[in-house]
A = this chain, B = another copy of it.
Amino acid sequence: MAQLTVIPVSGFPEVHPGDVLSDLIADRVQLADFDVVVVTQKVVSKAEGRLVDVDPDDPLSHKGVVEEEALRVLRRRGELVMTETRHGFVCANAGVDLSNVPRGQVTLLPIDPDRSARRIRDGLRARTGMQLAVVVSDTFGRTWRRGLTDVAIGVGGIAAVVDLRGTTDTFGRPLQVTEVCVADELAGAAELVRGKSAGVPVAVVRGVERGWFREGSVRGEVVRPYGEDLFR
């Protein structure tokens, strides 16, 4: 295997509805064939106009938006509302987010984050003529583990889950279950170079296995349908 490089892309302006993210990205980084461009949900939602006004003086006014955005509320504890979104994501507050958003507004998740990723990928391909993939990432908590990690909510041009079943282990035996969610691992790797307040909404991962480049889908490959998991 070759080595992987994760490159932060800085110097982004504040993103507004209608901005073309592929242009903002291509203006700021020299891309190469088979690069994976990881873009945070926040700028995707802003570019797509997924912003809602809330009362800036009422710290709880976004809670009504959370109730509207949630398909189901799975658990509540104090301020924490664990929800299932229409996309099938299980996350806090239905993905409604106050941070890094102008006062008096919150962002909602993109309506179809796989489509968002494909659209950015198409724009980057049109600009550069290169074979590229895009991952749209967001920051989620985990059921059994403290601390948040970045995961993929949408992909364009790359598999979300890579199925290694059928290959053999180092003793020549068929491997059992080794479907790896590389999209989430790419999102997490990008997070390591971004920092939270540094205004680095994009990172490029270079050196990714070329066999993973195909039309993928987080919704189709990663989201467990209601009833498939053992804990809902």
Taking CB atoms, residues of chain B closer than 8 Å to A177 are 148
Nearest 4 CB-CB pairings of A with B: A147-B181, A185-B188, A189-B189, A147-B161
Of B5, B98, B142, B185, which is within 8 A of A176 by CB? B98
| A182 CA to B99 CA, complexed, in Å | 20
Query: Which parts of A165-189 form the interface with B (CB within 8 Å)?
Result: 167-171, 173, 175-182, 184-186, 188-189
Of B1, B150, B222, B230, which is within 8 A of A77 by CB? B230
Confirm or deny: A199 has a beta carbon within 8 angstroms of a beta carbon on chain B.
yes
Taking CB atoms, residues of chain B closer than 8 Å to A209 are 192, 195
Confirm or deny: A103 has a beta carbon within 8 angstroms of a beta carbon on chain B.
yes
20 example contacts (A-B, Cβ-Cβ < 8 A) are as follows: A1-B194, A3-B7, A4-B6, A14-B170, A90-B143, A100-B170, A139-B180, A143-B144, A145-B151, A145-B223, A146-B179, A147-B179, A147-B184, A147-B222, A148-B177, A148-B180, A150-B185, A167-B196, A168-B197, A180-B191
Confirm or deny: A82 has a beta carbon within 8 angstroms of a beta carbon on chain B.
yes
Closest CB-CB distance, A222 to chain B, in whole Å?
A: 5
Stoichiometry, as copies per complex, reads: 2
Taking CB atoms, residues of chain B closer than 8 Å to A10 are 1
Confirm or deny: A26 has a beta carbon within 8 angstroms of a beta carbon on chain B.
no
Taking CB atoms, residues of chain B closer than 8 Å to A195 are 1, 209
Please give 14 more A-B residue pairs, beta carbons under 8 A apart, in addition to A99-B173, A146-B161, A188-B189.
Answer: A3-B8, A80-B230, A89-B144, A100-B169, A139-B180, A142-B142, A144-B224, A147-B179, A147-B222, A148-B181, A169-B196, A180-B191, A186-B192, A195-B209
Taking CB atoms, residues of chain B closer than 8 Å to A176 are 98-99
Residue contact A145 to B224, C-beta cutoff 8 Å: yes
Confirm or deny: A193 has a beta carbon within 8 angstroms of a beta carbon on chain B.
yes
Which residue in chain B gives the minimum CB-CB distance to A230? Answer: B75
The A interface, classified by DSSP as helix, strand, loop or mixed, is: loop
Taking CB atoms, residues of chain B closer than 8 Å to A200 are 1
Residue contact B189 to A145, C-beta cutoff 8 Å: no
Which residue in chain B gives the minimum CB-CB distance to A103? Answer: B171
Confirm or deny: A160 has a beta carbon within 8 angstroms of a beta carbon on chain B.
yes
Residue contact A169 to B149, C-beta cutoff 8 Å: no
Known: A75-B231, A197-B169. A189 touches B6 (CB 8 A): yes
